[in-house]
Copies of this chain bind each other. A is one copy, B any other.
């Protein structure tokens, strides 16, 4: 199919598809002549994945390129590619200054991971972002002790175990990696928005009861 049809079938504007081609998010089509290229179903699928990552998963375009390159890199082993993928995916900001709050947050993060039996990797961007978030809570005086964080850690462990089981069912290593990326990135907003809905629901219960009791 031509670029115009790829655009029509995906709902992505031709200009944006050209942009993705330029940025290396989408492999070039098979050049059928000097001014025409042919795209197939695989291009359509990849384009949909890119759109999902960028729009729903809020992955920056430059990051998506790195992630997809790691997924496609047949030369490296599966475990190394997965490592590249998870470190390339966007995380929060790393802690900017090493104050008291950051130090306490780091201790908390380490202890939580120890209790869950995880190997703590201090350089891991997810670890850094976790410390930064906990440090912000500490700075504001909100609860962020090991006991406060542990419930989230247990929940995360449950979810991850379930997700890896799902990923492991895919056959080829490239489809496994693509599934890992898609499920990691796209179930993120699912989880967050379900949490928001649960909070709204729970808040309705708690505060309405309070209000009925006379505030």
Question: CB within 8 Å of B: which residues of A?
Answer: 11, 45, 48-49, 51-52, 55-56, 58, 77-79, 82, 86, 89, 91-93, 96-97, 112-113, 116, 118-119, 121, 124, 126-127, 129-130, 132-134, 136-137, 139-140, 142-143, 148-149, 151-153, 155-164, 166, 168, 179-180, 182-184, 186-204, 206-208, 211, 215
Contact = CB atoms under 8 A, between A and B. Distances in A.
Contacts of A182: 137, 140, 142
13 contacts: A56-B93, A78-B211, A82-B207, A86-B196, A129-B193, A130-B197, A142-B182, A142-B183, A152-B190, A156-B197, A160-B199, A160-B201, A164-B202
Contacts of A49: 140
B186 A142 contact: yes
A133 B196 contact: no
- SS class, residues of chain A in contact with chain B: helix
Given A56-B93, A179-B142, A113 B197 contact: yes
Chain multiplicity (copies): 2
B133 A77 contact: no
B183 A56 contact: no
Contacts of A208: 79
Contacts of A86: 196, 199-200, 203
B149 A200 contact: no
A117 to B, nearest CB: 8
A158 to B, nearest CB: 7
